[in-house]
């Protein structure tokens, strides 16, 4: 298996992975081909994938705002779970953020996603019950 930077030509395979992983996404908004191709060109946003032969089996988006780093959209193909791919992506993301001078790593996990809670807790992330997350969307598709 190979860990590498995502290419624009990987878009359909990324969406296939997210579908296999039952991963929610916004195909008309932030996860559209056009938006992801724009995001791939940014200096503060990194898309990484793991492929097995020519099949994408795991992905993560790593970003930062100069102060805090974010591990986003971590997905592993159900057939490849339990092999340490998510841990490999977290470690890679943290190292990348350290190289960018970032010392705080964060992720958002929906309350129903106990698997992700367990995963991030196992590698030292702390759950903050005192934080309430707000968003304002210009459109429900973004």
Residue 134 lies in a domain: no
Identify the pLDDT of residue 112. Answer: 86
Of 31-35, 50-54, 67-71, 130-134, least confident by mean pLDDT is 130-134
What's the structural domain count of the chain?
A: 1
Residue 140 lies in a domain: no
Residue 37 lies in a domain: yes
The pLDDT tens digits for 85-96 are: 999 999 999 999
User: In the structure encoding, which two tokens stand for residue 93, read together?
Assistant: 């993301």
Residue 61 lies in a domain: yes
The pLDDT tens digits for 96-119 are: 999 999 999 999 998 888 999 999
Q: What is the CATH number of the domain that holds 88?
A: 3.40.630.30
Enclosing domain of residue 31: 2-122
Residue 15 lies in a domain: yes
The pLDDT tens digits for 120-130 are: 999 999 999 99
**b/e 101-129 (16+ beta carbons within 10 angstroms → b):** ebeebebebeeeeeebbebbeeeebeeee
Distance, in Å, from the CA atom of 18 to the CA atom of 25, rounded to the nearest integer, reads 8
């Amino acid at each position: 298996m190979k860990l590498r930077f995502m290419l624009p030509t990987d878009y359909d395979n990324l969406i296939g992975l997210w579908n296999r992983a039952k991963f929610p996404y916004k195909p008309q908004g932030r996860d559209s081909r056009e938006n992801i191709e724009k995001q791939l060109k940014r200096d503060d946003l990194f898309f990484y994938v793991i492929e097995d032969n020519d099949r994408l089996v795991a992905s993560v988006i790593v970003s930062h705002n100069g102060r805090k780093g974010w591990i986003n959209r971590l997905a592993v193909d159900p057939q490849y779970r339990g092999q340490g791919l998510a841990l490999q992506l977290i470690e890679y993301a943290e190292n990348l953020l350290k190289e960018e001078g970032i010392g705080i790593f964060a992720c958002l996990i929906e309350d129903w996603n106990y698997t992700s809670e367990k995963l991030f807790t196992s590698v030292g992330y702390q759950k903050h019950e005192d934080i309430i997350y707000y968003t304002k969307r210009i459109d429900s598709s973004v």
